[in-house]
Amino acid sequence: MENFVRNSKLNIEKEIERIERQSVAPLDKIKQIIDVIQTSLILLKSAVAEYQFTNPEEEILFFKTWKPQISGLLMFYVRLYQIEKKRIGESPSTQCKYLKSELENLKKYFLNNPFYDYYRTGRTELDEQYFVRRNYDILADTCFGLLDRDSSFTTLHDSSVAEIIANNRLTEYLSAEIEILSDELHLKLTSIVESRLLQWTDSKVALVEFIYALYAGKCFNNGNTSLKDIAFCCETLFNIEIGDFYRIFLEIRNRKKSRTQFLDKLKDKIIKMMDELDR
C-alpha cells in the first residue's frame, strides 16, 4: 500500500507540472489539477477496498499520513480555486485586503482546534481511536455534515489531518501572495509620490480643514491614528508642505461664517455631479 500511495503522489506531481506548463487560464489549470487528484483518490479507495492491513499500526499510518497527503492536496486546490476566483477583476489593494482576511481566518482555525495541538505535538495515544475505521463514531465526527461519508474509507480524523495539510499550504501561499501585492502597492505609491502625480492645488487652509475632518470622523484605524500622522501622509502624497497646521486650524475655528467652507464646497460639488449624472 505504501508503494501504491507513493506512485500515486508521483503521478499527481508529474501531472501538476504538465498542467502548469499549459498556456491556459489559472482557474482552468486548477480545475484540471483537481480532476487529477480526484481520480487518484478514487483509485486509492478501490485499492484500500481490496487490501487487508496487516495490523492496526499500518492502518493508522495509512489514515494518519498516507491518505491525507493526497486528500489534503485536493482540499488545498479546491480552496485555492475559490480564492483565485474571488480575486478576478479586483484591484491589487482589494485583493491584498481579501487575502489578509483569509490568512486571519486560517490563523483562527489553528488557534481554536484542539486536534491540531494533538497532531502538531506528535502525540499518538489516541491514534487507534482517531485513525482506525472500526472506531469511527459519527457522533464525534467534526465533519458530521457529510452524512454520506464512506466508513470503509473514513476514520474520525483523517480528514482533519488533510485539512491541516491544506491549511498549512494555504498559509504559505497567502503569505507569499500578500508580500507580492504589498510590494506592488508600495512601488505604485512610491511612483505616485516621486512623479508628483497628485499635486494639491487648492489652498493649505482647505487641506487642513480636510485633514481635521478625517481626524474628527475617525476615518483611519477607528480613530486610533494621530493628527500628525494623517497630516504627514497628506503632505507626502499630495506633495505639499502645510506648515503649522495647528495655527491654521485655529484660524478655521475663528471664522465668522461657515467654519467648514471647503467641506461645504465639496458637498455642493458632488451633489451637482450626481444630479448631472441622473439627467
Q: What is the pLDDT along the chain (279 residues), one digit of tens a residue?
A: 889 999 999 999 999 999 999 999 999 999 999 999 999 999 999 999 999 999 999 999 999 999 999 999 999 999 999 999 999 999 888 999 999 999 999 988 888 788 899 999 999 999 999 999 998 777 776 655 455 567 789 898 999 999 999 999 999 999 999 999 988 888 777 777 777 788 899 999 999 999 999 999 999 999 999 999 999 988 888 888 898 989 999 999 999 888 999 999 999 999 999 999 998
Q: What pLDDT does residue 1 have?
A: 86
Q: What pLDDT does residue 150 have?
A: 78
Asked if 131 contacts 160 with a C-beta cutoff of 8 angstroms, the reply is no
Who's near 141: CB < 8 A, 6+ residues apart? 149, 156
Residue that the C-alpha cell 506531481 belongs to: 13
Stated as kind and residue range, the H or E segment containing 162 is helix 158-194
Asked if 11 contacts 18 with a C-beta cutoff of 8 angstroms, the reply is no
Q: What pLDDT does residue 191 have?
A: 78
C-alpha cell belonging to residue 110: 489553528
The three-state DSSP-derived secondary structure of 41-87 is HHHHHHHHHCCCCCCHHHHHHHHHHHHHHHHHHHHHHHHHHHHHHHH
CA end-to-end span of the chain: 72
Residue 14 CA: distances (Å) to CA of 66, 221, 231? 18, 47, 55
C-alpha cell belonging to residue 112: 481554536
Q: What pLDDT does residue 27 have?
A: 96
pLDDT digits (tens, 9 = 90+) for 36-67: 999 999 999 999 999 999 999 999 999 999 99
Q: What pLDDT does residue 143 have?
A: 58
Q: Which amino acid is at 15?
A: E
Asked if 47 contacts 70 with a C-beta cutoff of 8 angstroms, the reply is no
Residues 261 and 58: their CA atoms lie apart, in Å, by 78
∠ CA 103-104-107 to the nearest 5 degrees? Answer: 90
What secondary structure letter does DSSP report for 138? G
Q: What pLDDT does residue 248 have?
A: 93
Q: Which amino acid is at 259?
A: R
What is the residue extent of each domain of the chain? 1-194, 204-278
Residues 86 and 264: their CA atoms lie apart, in Å, by 38
